[in-house]
Amino acid sequence: MARIPAAERRAELVAAAVRMIAAHGVDGATTRRIAQEANAPLATLHYCFATKEALFAAVFDHVASRYREVLTHNHIHGDVATTARTLLRGLLEWYVANPDFGAAIVELISWAQRQEDNQAEMVYNEAFATMRPILQAAAAAADQSVDPKTLDELTYIVSVLSDGFALNWLVFTDRTAAEPQIDVVLGVLDAWMAAHLGEAAGPPVRASKTSPEQTVRALVSWVSVD
């Protein structure tokens, strides 16, 4: 059997850790489970990562990197409002398509808050450091004057709305309701931009393709307590 390069093996172990954290939580994602999921000997995991904390640090880096990739992939070089909508939609659709990542992020953030380092902050700081320059560049390219504080707030709003959607999706995992829910979240962003961006908010967004019944179902699943 051909020897797997160390970098490739590390990547496989990190990806396996994401899946195991999503399935079993941080405490349940034992090194043995992670090694088995990656089809690697336990000794190989300990060779690649001296401690479980080192492995989880690599997982945080991986999660932050994927988040950056989603944002840069959805950078369409439009005006501020169009760019913000596209970034948010891209994040929401990514969470729907990658439930393991969403679940792992929630588990990791909760775990990191109980540690002495700042890994949880790192994920958000990385997202902010990627998103805000995209929005700032959009404003400059479209010759729009947007106050720096408003750009900071817009970055925060996109992040918070995506987080809220991600938690709801993890609870209900209803793909039928997901699309109208995405429309609802985008509508909240549009309302905020209309109130705070002025002319930079752009023209009204076209009506959603979803029916009223779909929208109602989306909202009901969002607040369901059954």
User: Is residue 220 scored above 70 in pLDDT?
Assistant: no
pTM above 0.75, yes or no: yes
Give residue 91's pLDDT. Answer: 94
User: Which residue would you say has higher pLDDT here, 3 or 134?
Assistant: 134
- Look at residue 122 in the predicted model and tell me its pLDDT: 76
Q: Give the integer Cα–Cα distance in Å for 8 and 2.
A: 13
Q: What average pLDDT score do residues 152-174 get?
A: 92
pLDDT digits (tens, 9 = 90+) for 57-82: 899 888 888 888 998 887 777 899 99
Structure tokens at 158: 């996109």
pLDDT at 215: 44
What's the confidence (pLDDT) of residue 205? 53
Q: Reply yes or no on whether the pLDDT at 33 is more than 50.
A: yes
Does residue 148 have a pLDDT over 60? yes
pLDDT of residue 184: 95
Indicate the SS3 state at residue 202: coil
15, 98, 25, 101: which is closest to 55 by C-alpha?
A: 15
Tokens standing for residue 201: 């908010």
CATH of domain 1-50: 1.10.10.60
Return mean pLDDT, the chain: 85
Q: Which amino acid is at 99?
A: P
pLDDT at 219: 46
Residues 116-145 pLDDT 10s:
777 777 778 888 999 999 999 999 999 999
Q: How confident is the model at residue 200 (pLDDT cuts 50, 70, 90)?
A: low
Whole-number pLDDT of residue 1: 43
DSSP state of 70: H
Higher pLDDT, 172 or 30: 30
